Structure 1
């Protein structure tokens, strides 16, 4: 921490006293700014790494990070300006360097050349010659550009006869006779389901650009797009259900209930494939199914035709999938989630610092350390490593678990958590027998997060049908994202292809992982 020096002004000549006072004020201001900067950096580290941050959700941590970073940037500008006034250019120069970044080569460049006022040599020798140049680049952002596509179809007729008029046919549109191009529809879809901007906010943004489009008009575009995209999403679901292993999770999706003037609880169920951790050849994907509730029969319906291993959390509604009476296929094998087991113990440890919970967390951490070592290698290698290294640790954990359960009341908070782990013990060991199975369900939980973000921004779906469209379009957008495909480019191309009558027999070409952007 910087301390302001104490100076006896009486010892300074009167002529210099004003200059010294001004410098002392600047030093005091710099001291105050530096102290605030140190405080903000401390708060930032605490939000990201402190114990309290573990109680925050990912979104809350990101929000804290953003706000603290904004405040820190403001302080740095203050400090740079004061430092520049004192004549020290070092700090200002180093602080500005880290904001340069790397601008992609694919971005269009608009050059502006700044010439000197005169090219005549000061000595009178004549016109100077160019010997080099300095170049600098800055990022420029142009707000959303609205434009009107005017389609002209000339009519032609013969001057010598009356056999008819020739005119090129109108090009097909997704919404015939409507205002939007397919690019406009794609923009609205991405804004709503990827950037989490409700339609009424999009309407306000467009109004600022001079275009008055009511949200009801935008809703009409979204509904029609959702209808045309349904076959693509259905085909995506078929591809996923042909897999040997999938993830599944569910989250609430509140729906407006006009009869009661409030909202009711709907659900979006995520069915996902992600074989990248073991080098699987099938591309990752996710489909969101809308349902009015969380009953296990919904999962049974959505999984019709799937007979592999399902990675899930501990929700009891999935139990019906493992029984011979399962509808839609043979009993499936479930793999339960060690992250959920860890979370149960973490809740107890955070509340009362339980040594037993701490020991359980330490043991589970050993499993995850091994998983980090074997990530990315083949299923056979993963299976061998797990059987050699992890299986003895899991067996020891099982013995430890039963010993603790004999000592602790099942009705206590810790006892309930240990019972949860005991009840899912078979499913928690599935990953030891199959190198393709993950240790936890985190892959699909990460795919649920965009749904929760949209829920926070939109508050609720306006109708049950809104949940269906929500799930359908989010399926394509999130599958694009995990395959490294730009969602807007994909949706624009796909909607255009559908408008042009893309054949149903070639629908696989419209799946996100098969999209090839035009040059």
Structure 2
């Protein structure tokens, strides 16, 4: 049936051309070619619609959804129900025996034994948690009003028989304090020609007035609490002290320059280890030479030796991390950044800094793409997520049991690797049937590209199976980026890296950042020997601060 002329005229130009082509094929009796053409057009429309739907779902999830990659068992069951398939055996493992001390049965073919999820501790709902014992306490006696102190029956005075005690948690605002430094001057009354001897100043900043505690507070609030300097100036104004953001900026830069040797030593410690984890994130930096007035720099994070170091790079070229890693000979763990393969040692014709056999993959980056596909509506991604859930359950059990590197390697070989094998068997089979450029296709392609590097993580119990610690460290950078928006210059971005290095390392060891910075700034400005710099690093400082109260208690006893 032909359409009326007005309907044909209403068609867009591209569809009108398609219609003419179809009519020509039909008139020539080329029905198979006509069918193939129509099917080809439908496939293109379907793929485009799928891609657009996935992008829309991803954008909505970024705006309104939660950012965690954790997927509950209930969510997986819903996805499997939508898929119309049963949970893969190797992805869940057998149910634990209800009899205590029961022997574990030998795994059947296709069934990988998994440790049960550790039970979550029950919350004590009998009352409030006690207030910390280290807080200073004062006693306030509240008396009964005078009108109620006599017995209403006989009129005699009531006697105190005790007190009903309750606690009030109060907050005493921080305060500024002015310390007037009076330096002693000595002179000989008999020998005036010898001149005057004056005590050296104990100020940490020659031409400035801040003490070490104030300098420490400024940098801690910026790097730990992500508070921009102009907000700090507003906060100080509420205490009656007027300090401009530019003054705070000068003091912050001075404090970071004082602490820079500590950050440099942390970097040497991190890059001197045999196992380093790395990743980067963007940072907007003001640049007068850039057409937009602002460029995109990068903050690199490296974790090793239980410390973290941050390094600023003005762009994303691999030459910047390559220059930092020239002397590195260990294993580097990261994502699929192509620059790792381009990093050369000693010039353009040198060997690779990190050859393929010393690169480790990241399970979190692989899992994230399947999680994105699942939240985009592709239920098949639930299969991969169930395998990842089983693998991470094994890792959690290893950490809960505090296994040694050798024991964790044995556990992985026994339990984890069979699950990894099943996962990749499923990925390779599915990948051939997927439509290119869909979220699940992108996930399987990335997983295949990273297979060798990720499998390498399971060959040594000292290696983690993901880059989680680096990701957690970079969250602090992202939080600050949302608050102070950009760095004022490349030099300012380098100082940001110093701040994130020292306080990120403090966080890893539970060191109080304010107490650490106050102590270390004072010691460095008082002439602390550089050969004893390791004593000021957060790990050693935290151990010393824990040992000091214990020694004091022993002396008191």
Matched, 1:364 2:399: no
Name the SS for the 2:428 alignment partner.
helix
Does the CA contact (< 8 Å) of 1:155 and 1:167 recur in 2?
yes
Is 1:351 equivalent to 2:376 in the alignment?
yes
Q: Which residue of 2 aligns with 1:108?
A: 136
* Alignment match of 1:149 (pick from 170, 174, 179): 179
Contact 1:247 1:271 in 2 (8 A): yes
Cα distance, 1:178–1:411 mapped onto 2, change above 3 Å? closer
Return the offset for 1:315.
1.6
* Partner residue of 1:387 out of 397, 407, 413: 413
8 Å contact kept, 2:362–2:465: yes
* 2: CA distance, partners of 1:455 / 1:398: 37
- TM-aligned CA distance change 1:415 to 1:353, over 3 Å: closer
- C-alpha separation between the residues in 2 aligned to 1:166 and 1:431? 68
Q: 2:310 aligns with which of 271, 275, 288?
A: 288
Secondary structure of 1:149's counterpart equals: coil
Please state whether the residue corresponding to 1:254 is helix, strand or coil.
strand
Task: Answer yes or no: is the 8 Å Cα contact 1:386–1:432 preserved in 2.
Answer: yes
Deviation at 1:320, TM superposition (A): 3.0
C-alpha distance in 2 between matches for 1:99 and 1:224: 48
Match of 1:278 in 2: none
Match of residue 304, structure 1, among 326, 338, 345: 326
1:242: which partner in 2?
272
Kindly state the Cα deviation for residue 173 of structure 1 after the two structures are TM-superposed.
Answer: 2.7
2:427 — aligned with what? 401
Which of these residues, 486, 496, 515, is aligned with residue 522 of structure 2?
496
Q: Is the 8 A contact 1:194 1:450 kept in 2?
A: yes
Structure 2 vs 1, CA of residues 374 and 476 (structure 1 numbering), >3 Å: closer, same or farther? Answer: same
Tell me, yes or no, if structure 1 residue 221 matches structure 2 residue 251: yes
Give yes or no for the alignment of 1:439 onto 2:465: yes
With structure 1 as the length reference, what TM-score do the two structures score? 0.75
SS in 1 for 2:300: strand
How far the C-alpha of 1:440 sits from its partner, in A, is 1.2
Are the structure 2 counterparts of residues 392 and 382 from structure 1 closer, same or farther at C-alpha, using a change threshold of 3 Å? same
Superposed, 1:454-465 pairs within 5 Å as 454-465=480-491
Radius of gyration: which is bigger?
2
| Alignment RMSD | 2.9
Cα drift, residue 499 of structure 1: 0.8
- C-alpha separation in 2, matches of 1:226 and 1:268: 17
Show the counterpart of 2:97. none
How far 1:434 sits from its partner (Å)?
0.7
The match for 1:335 is: 360
Partner of 1:173: 203
CA distance in 2, matches of 1:318, 1:102: 51
Work out the CA distance in 2 between the residues paired with 1:54 and 1:334. 35
Q: Is the 8 A contact 1:256 1:262 kept in 2?
A: yes
* C-alpha contact (below 8 Å) 2:342/2:352 kept by paired residues: no
- Whether the 8 Å CA contact 2:187–2:197 is kept in 1: the answer is no
Change in Cα spacing, 1:168 to 1:331, as seen in structure 2 (3 Å) is farther
The answer to whether the aligner puts 1:183 opposite 2:205 as a matched pair is no
Give the whole-Å Cα distance in 1 for the aligned partners of 2:384 and 2:188: 89
CA distance in 1, matches of 2:419, 2:68: 30
CA gap of 1:98–1:317, structure 2 versus 1, over 3 A, is farther
Once residues 170 and 129 of structure 1 are traced to their aligned partners in structure 2, the CA distance between those partners, rounded to angstroms, is 62
Structure 2 counterpart SS, 1:203: helix
Q: Distance in 2 between matches of 1:126 and 1:514?
A: 66
Paired position in structure 1 for 2:398: 374
- Give the number of the structure with larger relative contact order, counting CA–CA contacts within 8 Å between residues 6 or more apart: 2
Name the structure 1 match of 2:232.
202
Report the TM-score, using the length of structure 2 for normalisation.
0.70
Residue matched to 2:165: 135
Is 1:313 aligned with 2:335?
Answer: yes
Contact 1:339 1:442 in 2 (8 A): yes
Superposed displacement of residue 208, structure 1: 2.0
Contact 1:308 1:332 in 2 (8 A): no
Q: Is the 8 A contact 2:341 2:356 kept in 1?
A: no
Q: Does 1:476 align with 2:498?
A: no
Q: Distance in 1 between matches of 2:245 and 2:167?
A: 39
CA contact (8 A) 1:307 1:331 kept: no
**Cα gap change, 1:321 to 1:102, in 2 (>3 Å):** farther
Distance 1:476 1:131 in 2: 55
Between the aligned partners of 1:507 and 1:224, the Cα distance in structure 2 is 19
Unmatched runs of 5 consecutive residues or more in structure 1:
1-50, 60-96, 274-281
**For 1:260-302, what per-residue CA distance to the aligned partner results, in whole angstroms no more than 9, with x for missing partners?**
46321011000013xxxxxxxx5x2111100011222222222
Structure 2 stretches of 5 or more lacking a match? 1-60, 70-124, 550-557
> Kindly tell me: are residues 424 and 505 of structure 1, through their superposed partners in 2, closer, same or farther at Cα, counting changes over 3 Å?
same
